[in-house]
């Protein structure tokens, strides 16, 4: 049984840079940074703001709530305790982006 879910196209994400999607009931924020697609939990671990409404700066995701800076690869918050969940991403040859909330990014 596969746990990959098609969520958007690479061309759409490339144009928008960030996008909120739902994957098997989980709110996920997608980011397109330096030609790589990242998926993090959309609900901030600090006070539940939406990371997908944040900014991208120098390769980091900036939460709109209190400007915590998250590493999109690891989910680590710079200078803070705690880690935003990250999820595995794969892009098909046809340009469809798939996310698995059952897999951490490192398992991809
Ligand atoms: S809600 Fe994200 S930094 Fe506070």
Per-residue pLDDT of 33-80, as tens digits, reads 999 999 999 999 999 999 999 999 999 999 999 999 999 999 999 999
Average model confidence (pLDDT) across the chain? 94
Pick the atom of ligand 1 nearest to 63's CA.
2
The token duo for 64 is 């709109």
Q: How far is the CA of 104 from the centre of ligand 1 (A)?
A: 22
pLDDT band for 26, please (50, 70, 90 cuts).
very high
Q: How far is the CA of 37 from the centre of ligand 1 (A)?
A: 22
Q: How far is the CA of 69 from the centre of ligand 1 (A)?
A: 9
Confidence (pTM): 0.93
Identify each DSSP E strand in the chain by its residue range: 5-9, 18-23, 26-33, 36-41, 55-57, 60-62, 69-70, 86-91, 96-100
Question: For a substitution probing ligand 1, which of 41, 44, 62 has the most ligand atoms within 8 Å of its CB?
Answer: 44
61 vs 104 pLDDT, higher one: 61
The token duo for 12 is 């759409």
Pick the atom of ligand 1 nearest to 68's CA.
3
């Amino acid at each position: 049984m596969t746990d990959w879910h098609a969520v958007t196209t690479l061309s759409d994400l490339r144009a928008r840079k960030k996008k909120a999607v739902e994957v098997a009931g989980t709110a996920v924020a997608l980011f397109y940074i330096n030609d790589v697609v990242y998926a993090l939990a959309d609900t901030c671990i600090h006070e539940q703001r939406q990371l997908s409404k944040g900014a991208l700066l120098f390769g980091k995701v900036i939460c709109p709530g209190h400007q915590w800076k998250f590493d999109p690869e690891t989910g680590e918050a710079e200078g803070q305790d705690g880690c935003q969940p990250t999820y595995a991403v794969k892009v098909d040859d046809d340009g469809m982006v798939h996310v698995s909330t059952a897999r951490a990014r490192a398992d991809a």
